[in-house]
Amino acid sequence: MLGKVLILSASAGAGHVRAAQALERAFADLGAAREVRHVDALQFTNKVFRTLYSKTYLDLVDHAPDVLGWLYDWLDTPWEKERRRLAWDKLNSLRFVRMLERYQPDLVLCTHFLPAEIISWLKAKARLGCAQAIVVTDFDVHAMWLCHHFEHYFVAIEETREHLVRLGIPANKVTVSGIPIDPVFAERKDKGAMRAKYGLAPDRTTVLVSAGGFGVGPIEHLVASLLGLNHPAQVVVICGRNEELKHRLDAVAAERPAGGNTLVPVGYTTEMDEYMTAADVMVGKPGGLTTSEALAKELLLVIVNPIPGQEERNSDHLLEQGAALRCNNLPVLGYKIDRLLDDPARMAAMRAAARRLAHPDAARDVVRKAVELV
C-alpha cells in the first residue's frame, strides 16, 4: 500500500475534475493508499491567473468557440512553446509549488496538463522526488500534455498511444487505459428497473440529452427537433444546475399533447449512470468524460455541434470507429435519429463499436498500474 497520493485536476471545464474524482473513488475502493488527496491546482494560483484559466475558457466555449479552436490548433506544436508557457505558469503558481514541496507525495496523478508540467519542472530541479502519472482526459493528445519528467502516461485509445510514441515517449511508458470515469458506470443495472424508478415509459425510445454543454441558446430548438421524432419517444433533458432552463422546459413539457412524444426535464442529479442505463440514445457534445460514460453504457451516440478543438477531435475518433453519428443542423436532428432507429443493423453495429471503445473500469485500471510506479 502506498503512503501519500495526490490527484491533481484543474477546474477549467468539468471533465478534468470528474476524472480526478473517479480516480479518488477507485483508490478508496481498492484500498491502494493510506492517504489520498484530490486538489484543484487552480485554487493554489493567483486570482487573475485562475480567472484566465477557467472563466476565460468557459466564456470562449459559450461565445467564441471558433477562437478556442484556433488557439487549440495554434498551441498544438509539440515542444515548441513549452519554455514560454512554463515560465508563465511558474510565475503564477508559487503557492502550488509550496504546497507540493510541503506535502511531498509518493505518487501524483494529473488529470490536467497545468500541474503536470509544474511537477515535471520540479522533478528536473530535484525539488520533488515523487512518481508522476499523467492521465489524458480526451481521445486525442494535445501538445500541452507533453512533459519531459514523468513515469507514465494513460491514454484513451491506441492511436493516441502511437502518437506519443512517435513524439519520442517510450512505448513502455504509455498505457491505453481509457479515460477514468466513476466506477459506478461499470455496474450492470436493469434498463426496465431504471425507467420505472424515474417514472419513464417502459416501451418508448428514450433519448437522453445532457444540456450542460449547450448554454442557453440552442437547447429549445434541439428539444423541438427531438419531440418531432416519428418513433414513439420520451426525451429526458439533464439541465444540471441551470434552474432557469429547467423551468422553461417544464413549461414546454406541460403543453405537450396527450399521447405524443414526451419531455422530461431533470434538474441536478448524481444518478447520471442510472439515467444512461434507462436511455437508448445519448445526444450531446463529445467531451471526453461524458463520451466515455456513454460508451460504458453502450448508448447510441449522436454528436451535436462539437466545439472546435478537442471536441472536434473526439468526434472524429468516434465517427471513424463507427460509434457515433453527427448532426450539425438542429432541424434535422429528429430526422437523423429516425433513420437510425429504422436500421437495426446499424444500431447493433454502433453498440458493438461502443463496446470495443469502452473502458468502464478505467479508473481502477489506472490506479492498479500507477501504484506499481512507486
The Cβ of residue 68 has, within 10 Å, a number of other Cβ atoms equal to 21
Residues 318-334 pLDDT 10s: 999 999 999 989 999 99
- The predicted pLDDT at position 15 comes to 87
Give the separation between CA 115 and CA 108, rounded to whole angstroms: 10
pTM of the model: 0.93
- The predicted pLDDT at position 3 comes to 93
Ordered strands of the 324-327 beta sheet: 262-267, 233-240, 205-210, 281-284, 300-304, 324-327
Phi, psi of 7 (to 5 degrees): -105, 120
- The predicted pLDDT at position 212 comes to 62
Q: Could you identify the residue written with the cell 499523467? A: 134
Residues 30-70 pLDDT 10s: 999 999 999 999 999 888 888 877 777 777 777 788 888 89
Range(s) within the chain of domains with CATH label 3.40.50.2000 = 2-179+361-371, 184-357
Instruction: Give how far Cα 19 sits from Cα of 109, 351, 373, Å.
Output: 10, 24, 20
- The CA-based dihedral angle spanning residues 224, 210, 249, 278, taken in that order and rounded to the nearest 10 degrees: 90
- The predicted pLDDT at position 288 comes to 94
Parts of the chain with a pLDDT under 70? 212-218
Domain spanning 2-179+361-371: CATH superfamily: Glycogen Phosphorylase B; (3.40.50.2000)
From the list 50, 73, 95, the residue with the least C-alpha distance to 144 is 73
Looking at domain 184-357, its CATH architecture is: 3-Layer(aba) Sandwich (3.40)
For 32, the 3-state DSSP assignment is coil
